[in-house]
Structure 1
Amino acid sequence: MTVSKTIFGEIDSEPVYLYKITNKNQTSISVLSYAATWQNFEVVENGQKHSLIEHFDNLDDYIKTPYQVGKTIGRVAGRIKDATFKIKGQEYQMEQNEGENFLHGGSHGLQYQNFKGEIVTDQAVKFKYVVDGEDGFPGKLAVSVVYILSDEDEVTILYSGISDHDTLFNPTCHVYFNVGDENIRDQKLQINADNFLDVDDGKVPTGRLLPTDGPYDFKEPKTIGKGLDELALLDKFEYDDAFVVGRSAATISSKDRAVDLETDRNGMVIFTANPIDEKKADKREYDCLAMELQTLPDAIHHPEFGDTILNKDEKIVYANKYRYRKLN
């Protein structure tokens, strides 16, 4: 195993570093100090390199592109209804950065911060940042994000948080997968979920769980294109949905390779997108699929969705895992 560190760019007169971890199979991950971003996941098959995730090769695209490609999202991923919540009877008013609601940690969230990086071992890099009362959140929150690559081609992301005040904490990696040489529509998706969340017109959960029928049924592997075709019959043209998952959450696969996703939380949001080509995105010509492992969105308003409260002075750690498998 080896780890390298190079300068990737600069933001606000601070250097942004890229760390690259490479294992014995020449599988590698690259991660950035800016937004603790997962920049690349690359495998070598028969002497050929294959990237498994959407990525940019320059910092400017990560800064200007609204799709949050590969970034750490937080404090809280997803939407919070009406940008308000209560903890122990105390109400907090957040920034309303998407209509009347609050999305993805706000305009000063983790996805806009340059973390301090540290090589922990020859297979792990840690990023640290402290957010302090930004966008209406209570408390100073110390966050660390650790990326680990094993010799078994498994990527583990550990998120830890500790705060001096009762607050919320539900981060995710906004990673977009494209694991094959074929079009994303021809790649297969399996989601181990019997239910997904009903949402209102603002994409905020209503509290209802819906059965994963029709276009939402990925219990057996199905091409993303078939799912999109089934969605079109309902006059819907993209996935932007939260599924209720267990530890073994999902698999995305091409004819040659697959990535299995595991989580210790209960939710996965999928989102069809094309961050690279805005014109194709407008035509719904997608080239990747976001797969965001997290506690179900807006859980603070729906206790049955899970607990995203981080109590004062209590440390919590979450783990997401992604394992590459060669199929042919």
Structure 2
Amino acid sequence: MRRTISAVPFGVYQDEPVLLYTIENSHHSKLKVLSYAATWYDFEVQVNQRPQSLVYHFDNLAAYINTPYQVGKTVGRVAGRIGGATFTLNGQAYHLKANNGHQLLHGGDHGLQTHNFKGCFDPHGDTVTLTTTLLSADDGFPGDLTVTVSYTLTADDEVQISYHGVTTVDTLFNPTCHVYFNLDGQAALINPQQLRINSTKLVHTDHEKVPTGVFYVPTPAYDFRNQPVLQTQLDRLLQATGKTEYDDCYVLDHQDEPAGVLATDHGQLLINTDRNGLVVFTANPDRTQSDHLGDYHALAVELQTLPDAINHHGFGDTILHAGRPQTYVNRYRYVAK
């Protein structure tokens, strides 16, 4: 069988049709993507000759529009928080409209997560390309920014997501996919799965989850270097801090190793990025799923330059210059056991 790509209707958003694209490779793995918010809808692999979903998803467009969890969506221009909704670029201060307390979260209320992208593909290819433009007049950032998000499914079950930005004047550019994983399907708890993060330090944040500019060495409850079981770490976290969830940003150590690994009985997902940050967030995007505190059906993994980088030395460069397009690539490969 050759690889194929198809597109079917998935609803209507702001009077425009939303399409669901499916890329299928030669051994029947499937990558599914929505034009709305360039959303990673699903990733199905074959386990014991049956399809196994690895990505948390909804079955209708209304759920994607209404969820506060940004499920699977491309977020930005700038993923994460910008402290005080304020930054300075080229000597000019920008004060944007806060949408998360006093902060700007995921680029504001007109970010990529609110757009229905235009798509194109070769029916016999391996890539769906989605494009939209963020206007300075809409979101307050300098420059009109054209963003192209390309989803590729390779023959060896690797999902590659590239983010290409072109701007009219210097601006900020740090998008990511707010994907949630559960390698055993979203009806199962993610607690028994194992997580490894290639990091020896975390970003310290204040009470509003805004980076303070300081890194710190993880205590045992936050240390995922040896691929512990999530439940074991959640138990440690509760005992040490009284918390029952993770919502933390790790500073990645080495580009030549996977940024992270999520593993279960049938296989593992190897996660790679060309940027320096990995945010993890334990969640139940369907709030009716779990009544027991600390039971989770999904783990968000956001690969990006460290949040609020424009306001902190040593956090990375999120400036996109006019006339100098930039491309970032995140990769997720499933390997069966």
Scaled by the length of structure 2, what TM-score is found? 0.94
Task: Tell whether the 8 Å contact from 1:275 to 1:281 is kept in structure 2 after alignment.
Answer: no
- Shift of residue 303, structure 1, vs aligned partner: 2.5
Q: Which amino acid aligns with 1:244?
A: V
Per the alignment, residue 119 of structure 1 pairs with 121
Distance 2:294 2:229 in 1: 16
Give 1:216's aligned residue: 222
Aligned residue among 96, 99, 102 for 1:97: 99
SS of the residue corresponding to residue 199 of structure 2 reads: coil
Residue 197 of structure 1 corresponds to: 203
Q: Which amino acid aligns with 1:107?
A: D
Give CA deviations for 1:79-104 in whole Å, capped at 9, x if unaligned: 00000000111000111101111101
* Cα distance in 2 between the residues matched to 1:28 and 1:299: 35
CA offsets, 1:114-167, max 9 Å, x none? 000000461000000001013321110000000000001000000000101111
% identical equivalent positions: 48
8 A contact 1:125–1:147 mirrored in 2:
yes
Contact 1:189–1:218 (CA under 8 A) maintained in structure 2: yes
Choose which of 152, 156, 162 in structure 2 pairs with 1:148. Answer: 152
Aligned counterpart in structure 1 of residue 319 of structure 2, from 281, 304, 309: 309
Q: Gaps spanning 5+ residues in structure 2: where?
A: none
- What number of residue pairs does the alignment pair up? 327
Match for residue 133 of structure 2?
130
Provide the rounded CA distance (Å) in 1 between the counterparts of 2:266 and 2:47: 10
1:183 CA displacement: 2.3
SS in 2 for 1:251: strand
C-alpha displacement of 1:281:
7.0
What residue number does 1:287 align with? Answer: 297
State how far apart, in whole Å, the 2-side matches of 1:191 and 1:93 are: 34
Q: In structure 1, what is the Cα distance between the partners aligned to 2:190 and 2:62?
A: 25
Equivalent in the alignment of 2:270: 260
> 1:239 is matched with which residue: 238, 241, 246?
246
Residue 16 of structure 2 is aligned with which of 5, 14, 17? 14
Match among 68, 79, 84 for residue 82 of structure 1:
84
User: Quick check: 1:180–1:257 contact (8 Å CA) kept in 2?
Assistant: no
Residue number among 179, 185, 189 corresponding to 2:183 in the alignment: 179
State how far apart, in whole Å, the 2-side matches of 1:72 and 1:229 are: 32
- Tell me which amino acid in the other structure corresponds to 2:250: F
Please give the TM-score of this superposition, normalised by the length of structure 1: 0.97
CA distance in 1, matches of 2:24, 2:287: 30
Deviations 1:44-98 (A, max 9, x none): 1222111001001111110011100000001000000000000111000111101
